[in-house]
């Protein structure tokens, strides 16, 4: 039997719970992740080219503005590089059959959460516990 193709978020969310992480859903998320990976790679390449092409000519104000622009571009590239690593790791999890399940509890992460954050590795409850631990630790450190 051929695999059905999911064309929209609505169609994905309308599927029965028993279909969680079936072949069609996995293909849907693979497509999203691959598209995000390609977009991030293209953006990073553009950022690299912009940084390389920036010239240090002009007066002090021009040089300062150029340096500030390069700093912003580097910070953006750093964020995009970290996200790209997450996307690649998520594609690996998909290949290994672990995608869609919480790393901490093994419970389903849930389609609504994965639609919002396809690289999620924790279910909502585990993520909330992690954030509470981080908040508690931060409060103890600042005291």
Cβ neighbourhood burial of 44 (10 Å; 0-12, 13-18, 19+): middle
Q: Going from the N-terminus, what domains does the chain have, and what CATH number goes with each?
A: 9-142 (1.20.120.910)
| Burial track 88-101 (b if 16+ CB lie within 10 A, e otherwise) | eebbebbeeeebbb
Please tell me the predicted confidence (pLDDT) of residue 101.
97
Please list the rounded mean pLDDT of every run of 10 residues in the chain (143 residues). Answer: 76 92 96 96 90 72 80 90 97 96 95 96 93 77 63
Looking at residue 28, its pLDDT comes to 96
In the prediction, which pLDDT does 143 show? 58
Q: What is the pLDDT of residue 118?
A: 96
pTM: 0.81
Q: What is the pLDDT of residue 1?
A: 44
Q: Distance (Å, rounded) from C-alpha 58 to C-alpha 38?
A: 36
Q: Left if phi > 0, otherwise alpha if psi is -120 to 50, otherwise beta: which for 6?
A: beta
């Amino acid at each position: 039997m051929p695999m059905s193709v999911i064309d929209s978020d609505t169609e994905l969310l309308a599927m029965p719970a028993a279909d969680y992480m079936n072949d069609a859903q996995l293909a849907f998320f693979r497509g999203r992740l691959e598209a995000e990976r390609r977009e991030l790679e293209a953006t990073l390449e553009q950022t690299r080219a912009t940084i390389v092409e920036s010239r240090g000519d002009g007066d002090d104000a021009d040089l300062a503005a150029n340096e500030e622009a390069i700093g912003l571009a580097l910070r953006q590239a750093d964020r995009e590089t970290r996200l790209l690593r997450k996307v690649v790791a998520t594609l690996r999890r998909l290949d290994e059959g672990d995608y869609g399940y919480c790393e901490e509890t093994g419970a389903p992460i849930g389609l609504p959460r994965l639609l919002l954050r396809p690289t999620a590795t924790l279910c909502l409850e585990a993520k909330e516990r992690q954030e509470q631990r981080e908040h508690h630790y931060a409060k103890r450190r600042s005291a």
